[in-house]
Amino acid sequence: MNKLRNLAFAAAGLTLLAGCTNNPYTGEREAGKAGIYGGVGAVTGAVIGAATSSKKDRAKGALIGAAVGGAAGGGYGYYVDTQEAKLRQTLQGTGVQVQRNGDDLKLIMPGNITFASNSSDISSGFYPTLNSLVTVFKEFDKNGIDIVGHTDSTGSMELNQNLSNRRAQSVASYLTSNGVPAQRISSYGAGPSQPIASNASEAGRAQNRRVEINLRPQ
């Protein structure tokens, strides 16, 4: 049993090392998401592999199970790691923020670069950024794309709800018209209901006027 446990942890350790990357801000070596998921998968696979093998083949079964489990566990994590890196590189200097939470990626596009005031017509200067997103979304085609429009609290609820709907739809329409499959995309407006800053100041209202694109596993 000790031998089996050691094999499982060794396999997990190898998977974690394979998933390690250098933190671009500190320069330190750290485990990436793929390595973490792969390590968990390796341990699970090792246990299952040993349990389903005969007594004399348990060590071999543990190693095979660890390899299969590690690959399966790390697969989507590695996919998101790569996609996140590509988005950060592509969107550098555009004003679009890239945030990650587990397997979900969020792109936050402030209103000052996307739409003119009280308009759902995409600003001409934002088209190059959207074109870059089209390219990335075609390359990484295993995500659902949820587009959400947001406003500040100035004006009536009805006005803000309609404006946020139209803005989200404008972005969705641009993506589909440039070859991103419509079945991957959903869009809706949240109006002023999901502020990320206080609406009591102009700076806060400017942050709340935004469009977000949420990328999630399909």
Which CATH number do you get for residue 142?
3.30.1330.60
- Total residue length of the chain: 218
| pLDDT score for 34 | 55
Same domain, 102 and 67: no
Q: What is the pTM of this model?
A: 0.69
Same domain, 73 and 149: no
Same domain, 59 and 32: yes
Same domain, 114 and 182: yes
Beta strand 143-150 with 185-189 is: parallel
CA distance between the termini of the chain: 39
Average pLDDT, the chain: 80
pLDDT by residue for the chain (218 residues), tens only, comes to: 555 455 445 544 544 444 554 443 334 444 555 555 455 444 444 444 445 555 556 565 555 554 555 444 567 789 999 999 999 999 999 999 999 999 999 999 999 999 988 899 999 999 999 999 999 999 999 999 999 999 999 999 999 999 999 999 999 999 999 999 999 999 999 999 999 999 999 999 999 999 999 999 88
Count of structural domains, the chain: 2
136: helix, strand or coil = helix
Same domain, 37 and 130: no
Q: What is the pLDDT of residues 87-109, one digit of tens each?
A: 999 999 999 999 999 999 999 99
| pLDDT score for 36 | 53
| pLDDT score for 28 | 44
| pLDDT score for 6 | 54
Beta strand 20-22 with 104-110 is: unpaired
Same domain, 175 and 136: yes
| pLDDT score for 29 | 44
| pLDDT score for 218 | 81
| pLDDT score for 117 | 85
Q: Which helix (H) or strand (E) holds 9?
A: helix 2-18
Same domain, 147 and 213: yes
Among 44, 66, 88, the domain boundary falls at: 88
Q: Could you list the residue range(s) of the whole structural domain that residue 37 is in?
A: 2-88
The answer for residues whose C-beta is within 8 angstroms of residue 66's C-beta and 6 or more apart is 7, 8, 11, 12, 15, 42, 43, 45, 46, 49
Same domain, 120 and 204: yes
